Amino acid sequence: MKGRRALPAMPALVVGAALFAVPASADTLREALVEAYRTNPNLQAARADQRAVDEGVPIEKSAGRPSVDATGRYSEFLNQSSTSFTAPERAVTANIDLGVPIYSGGAVKNAVRAAKERVQAGQADLRATESAVFSQVVAAYMDVIRNEAIVGLAANQVDVLSTNLQATSDRFEIGDLTRTDVAQSESRLAVAQSDFRSAQANLVTARENYIALVGEAPTDLQPPPPLPGLPASPEAAVDAALENNPDLIAARERAQAAGYDIDVAGAGRLPRVSLFTGYGYENYLGTLGGAVTDDPTLPDADVSQTSASVTAGVSLSIPIFQGGRPAALQRQAQARASAALEGVIATERDVIAQVRAAYSSWQASLAIIESSQSAVAAAELSLEGVRAENSIGNRTILDVLNAEQELLNAQVELVTARRNAYVAGFSLLAAMGRAEARDLGLDGDGLLYDPQLNFERVEGKWFDWDRDPEPVAQSTRTVDIPAQDADIPEQ
């Protein structure tokens, strides 16, 4: 059984934070990821599905193991022949048969190999699910931070425009400004109030999405730490993805399993050899009669009421003609193997495109952050100058309102760019196969789930009556978490 592909050593997402208990609320990105890792229902379901895939190996192995069957029968002979004087009235029979497969044309061997490859593919799928859940958590975490910032900016804009409206109204009262100036200020304030309400609604949505993924309400989320191991070039990112991307690994493993399926199908044309032995027992319960004599002074002949037999031998089955079924099954397996090979290339194409797009998005977001920072600084300076010029009559109220709106737009763009850059960077790590719990430093206190342990636990099981405990949901419900509001934590 092959182990998980070795990944390059990477620094942890957060260094030095120990995991002693599940936090009551997720204040840091690390805590949010830990909560999702332990309680997210999609991730828990994927682990359970993988445990089901693990059972494919002992299922296939069972076809090559000895089998024992026991049968018993009680019979009443309701109508005996009139010419038979020894016919019994009732009988009890019991048989025990042991069969040991010796040769099956390679069907069992190759079916077990295919099942093991599918276990490997399933483990890669579980890695992909883990990365996908973490990517969703990171996006939800950053959405909450971004929307909290936008709500704060929108609230500040409402306050600024309310102050502007009051000042404009006061100047209108003394004849310094016109009614048009007041109307313009009122209009901008009304729009800002609408934007504020929309921002609050978006924040509530972001917080509820966070709860759905993490299982806890967000409380005073802290800025995320720097992302580890980001590539220096798209070529380096693609090289890492071709080696470690879990979707690509899963496609390769399934293609390998499909190759074994061809041999399994072809085994239907080959002989089968098995050993057998059996024990049979009959008891007529004293109803089997003996030979009857005409001389009353002589007793009837005694007849044994029980019998036992033991058989052993070798069974050989040689298929001669099956109507073309084995050939059809093998051609079918070959076609599916061809589809699986094409699927590897299709997945590889998707991974390459995904990595390059994520790298480009990440780089673009970094550039937007830089330009947005310059835009914010310029807009702040512009607003200060426009206000000063308005105070001496060189600028109109509309100029001031436009400058304030430009500053707000630049600030929102900067907040959004920071969110997009972080999410794109994490998505890039996920596409490279480097966004799992171990890569992010979430190990500690027995947290990590290792699917290989369950496979090793069940691979060699033989006992028919072995079973696991009754299924119990591992994820947590969120029905008791209060509905979220748009309040901003005090800094």
Q: What is the pLDDT of residues 395-441, one digit of tens each?
A: 888 989 999 999 999 999 999 999 999 999 999 999 999 999 988 88
pLDDT 10s digits, 278-316? 999 999 888 887 544 455 554 455 678 899 999 999 999
Measured CA to CA, the distance from residue 67 to residue 69 in angstroms comes to: 7
- Half-sphere exposure in the Cβ direction for 401 (13 Å, CA): 23
Q: What would the mean pLDDT of 59-85 be, rounded to a whole number?
A: 86
Q: Give the chain's mean pLDDT.
A: 88
Q: Which residues contact 166 (CB under 8 A, 6 or more apart)?
A: none
Taken in order of first residue, the domains within the chain and their CATH numbers are 29-54+104-270+319-458 (1.20.1600.10)
What would the mean pLDDT of 216-241 be, rounded to a whole number?
93
Whether residue 143 is predicted with pLDDT greater than 60 in this model: the reply is yes
According to DSSP, the residues that pair with 75 across neighbouring strands are 91
Q: Give CA–CA dist 228/371, Å, rounded.
A: 24
The token pair that represents 484 in the structure block = 């979220």
How large is the average pLDDT for residues 123-147?
A: 96
Distance CA 259, CA 253 (A): 10
Start-to-end CA distance of the chain, whole Å, equals 53
**CA 65 from centre of chain:** 33
pTM above the 0.75 mark?
Answer: yes
What's the CA gap between 156 and 163, in Å, rounded? 11
Place of tokens 């002693």: 20
Residue 64 banded pLDDT, cuts 50, 70, 90: very high
